[in-house]
Amino acid sequence: MHAKKHRQGTEKHRQAVATMARLKLTKRNIDAIGNPERQTEYRDTELKGFTLIAYASGRKQFTLRYLMDGRRKTFKIGDYGKLTPEAARAKAKELFGKIDNGIDPQVEKAATDALPTMGEWIDTYLEDVRQRKKRPDSDERYLGWAKARYGKKRIDKVTRTDVRTHMQQLEKLGRTNTTANRYHASVRSCLNEACREGHIQYNVSANIQHYTEPTPRSRVLTDKEMESMLAAIDGLDDTFVQTALHMLIETGARKSEVLSAAWKDIQFEDGLWRLPDTKSGKPQIVPLSANIMAQLRLLPHAGDWLYPAGTGDGHRQDIKRHWDKVRKAAGIPDVKLHDVRRTFGLHVTRSAGLHVASKLLRHSSIKVTEDHYAPLGVDELRAALEKHSAEIVPLRQVK
């Protein structure tokens, strides 16, 4: 019985040996093989472990035979036709370099095959964004564009060209440079997180240059325009809108913050307004002037909100119609509601300094206040220059 098994084993070994051959793996030699009657393995005469398996069907495949942790292994490099012998040989040498450094190509490939597509990773990333950010809608919008564009690609196959070309196409479709830059910022943050999670080695979008954006809006109201606007507000027939606009002017708060103000958050004894839900995601306190407190005491209580909606239990969402009437009556059609906040920032900066203005505007950085809400005009620069000149002139020694 044992002798029979030994003979069968010897025969299988003889047949296996018969299907192996040594051959310099070049295009001419491989083409000369034709279609073998049975599967045959050709071992390269120059690079040990580099082989070609020829199948009876005509398919020919480059493989790598190697030893890892005492075990013989085979790694499929690719098919002849899709790969030239030169490219397959170069790949084999690259793989041997990894093997010498203790990296198993099979294990590495399994890990790579398990990587998510860009679309799958975007879905995972957005779940975290919704937990961290109060307003995730921008990321959802921009990453939705990326997902539609190259979401089916495996994440490690997304290229710098993919991101940059999409930015260029957004511009051609009429999107502003600012929009293209915001899109890039969302993609870059998404891929940064993929790096931290170990899905990719580096962020392909990290060094893409942003487009030049238009100069930020710097419109502020002059004293005369402010006077005209206040007169127009007093001419409105809606007490709630009148008070809301005065609150915007005197606090520098955002429109959404004012319109969503609740009675429970107004501390009449201290003259304070607590904002539980802000842009920063943290509760904030806003001091209220005596004038605003007086107006609020006269405002009718109609539910939980200072400025209730016309129907239902919610608060007002917008006052655009009334604001358009004010702009028209005051002769300032180009002024936007946010310009009122910018005007507030400039006035406070002039009277109390940049630091106080930044605190009242509740900016995360004083630089935001300086760049966008308190620009120095020609008058301020001229006044500083004249003051400097007045101090220097007496020091001149007249000959």
Across residues 172-177, what is the average pLDDT? 85
The model's pLDDT over 109-168, given as tens digits with 9 standing for 90+, comes to 887 788 899 999 999 999 999 988 878 999 999 999 999 999 999 999 999 999 999 999
The model's pLDDT over 209-243, given as tens digits with 9 standing for 90+, comes to 998 887 777 788 999 999 999 999 999 999 999 99
Q: What is the DSSP letter of 20?
A: E
pTM for this predicted structure: 0.57
Whether the pLDDT of residue 399 is over 50: the answer is no
Domains belonging to the chain, first-starting first, are 13-101 (3.30.160.390), 119-196 (1.10.150), 223-383 (1.10.443.10)
Nearest to 56 by CA among 13, 19, 15: 19
- Look up residue 23 and give its two tokens: 């051959």
